[in-house]
Structure 1
């Protein structure tokens, strides 16, 4: 009897592990809502409780273990490996990251604003491609994420190119010219709270931070989605927009980047 119970428990545990490790992740690869609930709520909450660490802390540990100090691309690779093999995280990801890289290379910006640092994955990707003396300002609302991001940036050896600012985008955007001697931004990467894309874009317009030819590049415009931003940016005569179809980071769910040129 006890042996049968033991075998039953072992079999049940094995089944749960298979479901957790392979079956459910495979299923949610193709469903936006399930993917976000599974990865961002269930798995993250479970691992936080079991390890008494946070996802950003686990991501930083993976960088420190697997990336070469002072090598930005090895930092990006380490984060991608962590997110594909260990634990999903809402970075722009490797697939959309290539689109981001191509836009940065095309624009060759001297001034960049990133809204939403998280753990500095896209920050590192952008900064590694900037010309000498370029300035990248990245805003992060969450102080815990900002603390992790600073360590990732330092590990990548890009501290001299990046200025990380903690606080709300709505508070900092009006202070940009005064605090950072910025006239306009050549490139703005939007990857923060999705309901802030539109108000922050309008705020940048009002504050004169966009010049003719400035580029806005917005992530996650399909999943989780930014319908009000897309309606505005695609119908405003002040912008010329292009959609780059891709997938939600590390899944098969449709997502994409919206590139918008400010026409003045």
Structure 2
């Protein structure tokens, strides 16, 4: 049995840990424990709860208001993973600079990134967005259409990215992507980047953005991007959505062509 003196000796250490990692503990509470509890009590998945809130409070046809409403839910009610306003400004700036006509998004989730990307498209631009979970895709479809984007502007493709990417040319008419945004499972970033290369889906000079490369992180993806010789790579430092004290970042890759 541990003596009281030894137990007391650990108190300063535990207090230091709690102070240092309090933001991560809060994230764990809001993103995992609170979501689980609310789902148990309501029987409604968190994505559907967020969707109901946005549908009730956002202005139809106003993409920016849809995004702000979603941010309000995530920061005040219940944390859901999204690009968020801080990293969203990075994405918006790069979209304006590149003005891509063909954009591919991997990981639609609730449609936040899709609305963000679609509002930055030049006239005649088209977004192809891929989501493996049918339930999440159904939520995203509602929010994308609420923001005012039809099927001619945003095509939502349901299926695992490793199955969808090889058939993008034949079945969906995406010949070359000029801008790619990755925001799905981080362990899939490298695999899917290589798939895009293998199927010749990246236009020369294409921009590839990858979210959450610092938290939770995508080290193998970053190592490949920096060492393979096919990309110029930089990381835009930012913070995790709704948690300014948790560092995160968006990787920007510029495709130089096969080597």
- Of 55, 61, 73, 1:70 maps to 61
State how 1:113-124 maps to structure 2 within 5 Å.
113-124=104-115
Aligned-partner Cα distance in 2 for 1:91–1:235? 29
Aligned-partner Cα distance in 1 for 2:75–2:154? 27
- Of 203, 222, 225, 2:217 maps to 225
- Of 175, 190, 213, 2:182 maps to 190
State how 1:17-166 maps to structure 2 within 5 Å.
30-31=23-24, 34-159=25-150, 160-166=152-158
Gaps of 5+ in 1: 1-25
> In 2 relative to 1, CA 36–104 (structure 1 residues): closer, same or farther, beyond 3 Å?
same
- Superposed displacement of residue 199, structure 1: 0.6
Whether the 8 Å CA contact 2:232–2:255 is kept in 1: the answer is: yes
Whether the 8 Å CA contact 1:220–1:226 is kept in 2: the answer is: yes
- Of 247, 254, 261, 2:254 maps to 261
- DSSP-derived class of the 1:56 partner: helix
Question: Normalised by the size of structure 1, how large is the TM-score?
Answer: 0.87
Q: What does the per-residue CA deviation read over 1:53-95, in whole Å, with 9 as the maximum and x for residues that have no partner?
A: 1111111112112111111111001001111111111001111
Q: Does 1:169 align with 2:158?
A: no
Gaps of 5+ in 2: 1-18
- DSSP-derived class of the 1:245 partner: strand
- DSSP-derived class of the 2:23 partner: coil
- DSSP-derived class of the 2:52 partner: helix
Equivalent residue pairs, number: 237
Q: What does the per-residue CA deviation read over 1:10-41, in whole Å, with 9 as the maximum and x for residues that have no partner?
A: xxxxxxxxxxxxxxxx986633xx35532332
Aligned-partner Cα distance in 1 for 2:209–2:179? 8
Please report the RMSD computed on the Cα atoms of aligned residues, expressed in angstroms: 1.4
State how 1:228-247 maps to structure 2 within 5 Å.
228-247=220-239
> In 2 relative to 1, CA 105–85 (structure 1 residues): closer, same or farther, beyond 3 Å?
same
Q: Does 1:181 align with 2:169?
A: no
Aligned-partner Cα distance in 2 for 1:63–1:229? 34
Q: What does the per-residue CA deviation read over 1:172-215, in whole Å, with 9 as the maximum and x for residues that have no partner?
A: 10101101222110000000011100010001001000121001
Aligned-partner Cα distance in 1 for 2:26–2:172? 39
Aligned-partner Cα distance in 2 for 1:36–1:143? 26
